[in-house]
């Protein structure tokens, strides 16, 4: 047995990939539904033949988008629990082609956009389903067509890495939202208190999220890992409904609006997606162990993940980098001049642009090069090849350095921002920097963790 084969888990990270796909599918389905309803409400005011024609197109887009997202989610679930996971991936690919065709029909046929503008968008829509289909047809995955085996640690360590990253992003994002609300809004009125309550509940949820992730990475007692994950999931469900209820009452107090209510319903849907996914994953894996040992979980033989959960992290890096490159690279090659003109025309929105596009103000090749670096690191982690630690370490270090370089003008002006009343801008920009650093720093630390791969993961005996 080679060193590489000893590092590769039995599931080759597909358990973690299934979790990621379930989350993304749920989020995309909610966003597609929200987009469709918003567009239908807007087009309802137009009337006439033109409005009816656009209504049909919007129904087509929203319908295929929701169907694609739900198949995305189902493909992820079947990687974890299904008996024919690759068949679900094939159905997801077919639905992605249908959805992309609907976008081409509208953007090319109705809007008459040139193909150079369409190519980056089409590439982004198709990159992941095609790459996933190709990857799962490689020889290494041929033995998993009937069912993906559980990893040595049941995939808990990779799931814990995801929970740590997502939890940290939640802590930072919610903290910024709390600060912005406290700084900008008058501290009076029932709607203000309701929004504060919803954000505080989400902040507690994020801390529980981080705690569950950390416990899963360092604890060998699987019952405690499952309990911590379920504690987060239970509170996460409660927090989603509390947040949705607070937002709904706030909207009704200010101005009842059907569009806002639909948006709140979709936000609640998105907030429910991850805790529900996590609870099912940990609970079903624990229940399978109990059944396998005739109810005596202390007899279950577990091993810590031989890959330290890195193959799951590799799928995350690979997928996000691939989608980013699929859009930015053709956009830069075919639309370089147009993009530069657009950036110049939005110079007065420099602060806003720098929040949503951290490389704005620098060459777009910064972002493209960083995404390519991330793609390589992701592939090496999935393969767990000889260079996996070098690739992950290099990506983590380079991405951290590049983000610090991009944000350095803001960092060097922190004092003047505070003196000139720019504290709000300073906090938001620091939060964006922190979120940009979470993935590379997590990769850097995770790739250089050390543990004994053969250590037994235990249940507590009673």
**Residue at token pair 């290494």:** 140
Same domain as 144, residue 274: no
Same domain as 110, residue 34: yes
Same domain as 109, residue 201: no
Same domain as 185, residue 142: no
| Tokens found for residue 114 | 């040139």
| Residue 454 counted as domain residue | no
| Residue 453 counted as domain residue | no
Task: Supply the DSSP symbol for 186.
Answer: -
Helix, strand counts (H, E) of the chain? 15, 0
- pLDDT score recorded for residue 425: 60
| Residue 233 counted as domain residue | yes
Enter the pTM of the model.
0.86
| Residue 462 counted as domain residue | no
| Residue 458 counted as domain residue | no
Rg over CA atoms, the chain: 23
Tell which of 244, 264, 299 closes a domain: 299
Same domain as 320, residue 291: no
Same domain as 173, residue 127: no
Same domain as 334, residue 199: no
- pLDDT score recorded for residue 351: 38
Same domain as 166, residue 129: no
| Residue 455 counted as domain residue | no
For residues 364 and 328, give the distance between their C-alpha atoms in angstroms, rounded to a whole number. 8
Q: What is the DSSP string of 217-256?
A: HH--BHHHHHHHHHHHHHHHHHHHHHHHHHHHHHHHHH--
Same domain as 252, residue 185: yes
C-alpha distances in Å from residue 446, one per residue of 206, 220, 221, 313, 383? 20, 17, 20, 9, 16
Task: Supply the DSSP symbol for 374.
Answer: H
Same domain as 75, residue 141: yes
| Residue 122 counted as domain residue | yes
Mean pLDDT per 10-residue section of the chain, whose length is 462 residues: 67 90 94 84 61 74 92 93 88 95 83 79 93 92 84 84 92 83 72 88 94 84 82 94 90 76 89 93 76 54 76 94 90 66 41 43 76 93 90 93 80 57 58 81 89 50 44
Same domain as 187, residue 69: no
Number of domains in the chain: 2
Name the residue range of residue 356's domain: 3-150+306-447
Tell which of 245, 271, 299 closes a domain: 299
Same domain as 175, residue 310: no
Tell which of 265, 299, 333 closes a domain: 299
Contact residues for 180 (Cβ-Cβ < 8 A; gap 6+):
424, 427, 428
- Contact by Cβ (8 Å): 331, 357: no
Q: What share of the chain is helix, strand, coil (3-state, %, to 5)?
A: 80, 0, 20
| Residue 232 counted as domain residue | yes
- pLDDT score recorded for residue 115: 77
């Amino acid at each position: 047995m080679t060193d590489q084969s000893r590092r590769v888990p039995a599931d080759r990270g597909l358990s973690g990939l299934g979790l990621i796909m379930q989350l993304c599918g749920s989020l995309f389905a909610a966003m597609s539904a929200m987009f469709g309803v918003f567009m239908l409400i807007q087009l309802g005011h137009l009337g006439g033949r033109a409005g009816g024609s656009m209504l049909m197109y919007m129904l087509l887009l929203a319908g295929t988008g929701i169907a694609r997202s739900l198949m995305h989610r189902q493909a992820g679930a079947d990687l974890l629990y299904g008996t024919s996971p690759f068949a679900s991936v094939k159905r997801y690919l077919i639905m992605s082609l249908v959805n992309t065709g609907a976008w081409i029909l509208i953007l090319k046929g109705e809007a008459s956009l040139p193909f150079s503008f369409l190519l980056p968008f089409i590439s982004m829509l198709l990159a992941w389903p095609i790459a996933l289909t190709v990857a799962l047809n490689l020889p290494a995955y041929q033995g998993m067509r009937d069912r993906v085996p559980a990893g040595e640690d049941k995939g808990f360590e990779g799931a814990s890495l995801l929970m740590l990253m997502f939890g940290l992003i939640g802590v930072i994002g919610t903290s910024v939202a709390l600060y912005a609300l406290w700084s900008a809004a008058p501290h009076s009125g029932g709607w203000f208190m309701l929004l504060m309550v919803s954000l505080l509940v989400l902040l507690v949820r994020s801390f529980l999220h981080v705690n569950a992730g950390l416990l899963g990475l360092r604890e060998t007692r699987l019952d405690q890992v499952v309990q911590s994950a379920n504690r987060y999931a239970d509170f996460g469900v409660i927090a989603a409904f509390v947040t949705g209820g607070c937002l709904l009452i706030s909207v009704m107090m200010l101005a009842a609006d059907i569009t806002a209510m639909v948006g709140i319903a979709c936000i609640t849907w998105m907030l429910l997606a991850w805790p529900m996914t996590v609870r099912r994953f940990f609970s079903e894996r624990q229940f399978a162990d109990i059944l396998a040992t005739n109810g005596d979980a202390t007899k279950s033989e577990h091993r810590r993940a031989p890959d330290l959960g890195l193959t799951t992290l590799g799928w995350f890096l690979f997928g996000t980098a691939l989608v980013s490159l699929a859009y930015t690279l053709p956009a830069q090659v075919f639309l370089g001049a147009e993009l530069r003109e657009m950036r110049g025309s939005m110079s007065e929105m420099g602060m806003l642009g720098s929040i949503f596009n951290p490389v704005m103000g620098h060459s777009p090749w910064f972002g493209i090069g960083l995404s390519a670096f991330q793609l390589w690191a992701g592939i090496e982690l999935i393969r767990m090849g000889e260079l996996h630690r070098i690739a992950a370490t290099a990506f983590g270090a380079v991405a951290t350095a590049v983000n610090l370089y991009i944000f350095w003008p803001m960092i060097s002006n922190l004092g003047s921002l505070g003196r000139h009343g720019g504290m709000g801008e300073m906090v938001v920009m620091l939060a964006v920097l922190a979120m940009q650093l979470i993935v590379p720093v997590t990769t850097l630390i995770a790739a250089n963790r050390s543990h004994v791969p053969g250590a037994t993961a235990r249940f507590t005996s009673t």
